[in-house]
Structure 1
């Protein structure tokens, strides 16, 4: 049943834009976001929600119990920014050296809007909605920490579904994008310390210089992706950090630190990388008289949209905005999301919302990233509608 939230969401437009811009200017990074948490608690006050705060992070869990019996649905909004100095020139730009360059300020405002829409119709609501406000999405696994602290059991029973929206500054405004199955890649890292002996740059024959060996390792990483992984199961391996310990132009390095970022779309491919790549690289190092220490760091798992839930979501989106504004992705994104931790536990769907400004598309995670906050009523409507329909289904 369509709940018809559009008109009420439009009435919230000015409030949602104002709080989004306040959150944008007050951006914080990581797991400890006291100022952001304070703003959200202020906005949630008076809605009649059961609110709890995180213990190890500045999270907020808010539970709305409807007037009719039914299951539980979860809506997620991430809270943290990035350590990027903003260069947008906006009147509400952050000046702290951090920036909401991934749109999390819009995510929070959108979930706040959905909370207000659903709370206003509490007596009709056929079940319970959990609003999950989560720090530490940008690499600190805040979603995993919130699960460990009990967010999925906050209502007394597990959600039957979970939904999240993610704005995109490179997608036309108001377009909704998702797909069944794998939506986004896993993210992991391989950290390496390559050790030689160092020495005088004039006499490399008297030393074991790890720098040219590091070059061999970098090429081997690229060759591994091209020749050891199936072309039908996409993976991206990138060298993201490279640093030697030499502080002078005439000194050969004794050690080189290297980090590879690893993106895969399946557990099998990730297992292949984890099992075989370190051994290959260690062999190259040894053949050149060096030693190699490696550390594999598993970060976010694959973001997997449950096919059954996502078919229902797509049908709802088609009805809400028209099929011409709904894109079914042909292939997953190689970016990652820690909403994946929730989707490992609860069937659900992540949807991208186009928020490109009139000036044209811009990349996420850029100091120039701009988002058109005119999409906020749409975000609130979609989240409220998806929650309502899923509760109606029982």
Structure 2
């Protein structure tokens, strides 16, 4: 295990800030705001950054906040992103700092992500042990699913207005011990697409099916055929998912309806497989409908792209993490079929998205009983501070 250098930030440097970080995190947890509604959260973040001496720009891409801090004459620059939004879930934790807004809660840990980056921000402003420019990005609407906060900030000129050499971000990881890190170069989290398939047949009486074109039968055949897309089209060493999540059609047992609808979730880890999946889903749906004498319309919506970590930045992050917590607390992250809009940033800049353990017994993400693990706050804050100092070494 490498020795943690005293030259750069250590977890111990944040021990006297633990209570403050916990207070901040629990305040954010108690006051959740949904995607593109983060008015109070954004103001809370911006006010603190200004207090610490950052050049703060508000309303980037809507409610995004960017804090910039320059030190020395170095020309290098780094960007670090934390997401701020909550989810439309009724909290069931029973905690004293539970959500004060019914039907909204921080069920994904963005309260912790924001707190850790604020902790690093205060430390960096106080110590200024770096040479270059730090851009801290507090992003709204990661949970939006489409038209997300990352897309909005990029469209608003994020990287033109706040240039950076690389960008980094993280997400907490239930099931991994608190204080441990998981990451990997290349594909990490899946692209997420949705296919809505509407089948149009010919309705009629259930007793006279020969006079109809039954869209329920077409839909049933389609669901089974779609299960072959991955098993018979994707290379076994690749990973992909096609899941039919909903199927709707009909209103009564003695009526054959005019239409039926299938909605499928499609996940992939490479642009090539993503394109192939769309072709096959469209082809199968169209051919099965035609074979039964029905017609079909397909709304194929592409969601978040694949999170692809660059080799150089991931190797750098691994070195920093091992310095901070030791080799045994840094592992290889399995590919995750969930999606994340940090992928859009990585389409524009090299960087790395990593995972921080939230505890082996942590409830899963998006659960009404989930809570971010406060034991990870000082580790995450120290990690961002050290990574910045190392990236912009004096």
TM-score (structure 2 length as normaliser): 0.93
| 2:161 corresponds to | 154
5+ residue gaps, structure 1: none
Counterpart residue number, 1:355: 358
Q: How many residues align?
A: 386
* Distance in 2, Cα, partners of 1:10 & 1:292: 61
The DSSP-based 3-state class of the residue aligned with 1:93 is coil
Which of these residues, 71, 78, 88, is aligned with residue 73 of structure 1? 78
Residue 368 of structure 1: aligned partner:
369
User: What is the alpha-carbon distance in structure 1 between the residues aligned to residue 74 and residue 135 of structure 2?
Assistant: 15
Q: In structure 2, which of residues 46, 52, 75 is the aligned counterpart of residue 41 of structure 1?
A: 46
SS in 2 for 1:205: helix
The 1:79–1:272 alpha-carbon spacing in structure 2 relative to 1, beyond 3 Å, is same
Note the alpha carbon deviations across 1:265-306, whole angstroms, 9 max, x for none.
Answer: 111111111223202211101111211101221111111111
Within the candidate set 133, 141, 146, 2:138 is matched to: 133
Secondary structure, counterpart of 1:370 in structure 2: coil
CA RMSD of aligned residues (A): 1.8
User: Counterpart of 2:12?
Assistant: 7
1:346 equivalenced with 2:349 (yes/no): yes
Per-residue deviation, 1:236: 0.9
Contact 1:67 1:126 in 2 (8 A): yes
Aligned counterparts, 1:1-394, within 5 A: 2-54=7-59, 56-94=61-99, 95-122=101-128, 124-138=129-143, 139-140=145-146, 141-155=148-162, 158-244=163-249, 246-329=250-333, 331-356=334-359, 360-392=361-393
State the distance in 2 between where 1:241 and 1:216 align: 14
Partner SS for 2:51: coil
Q: Structure 1 length normalisation: TM-score?
A: 0.93
Q: Does the aligned pair in 1 maintain the 2:124–2:385 contact within 8 Å? A: yes
Which 10-residue stretch deviates more, 363-372 or 70-79? 363-372
> Structure 2 CA distance, aligned partners of 1:230 and 1:163?
31
Does structure 2 retain, via aligned residues, the 8 Å contact 1:313–1:349?
yes
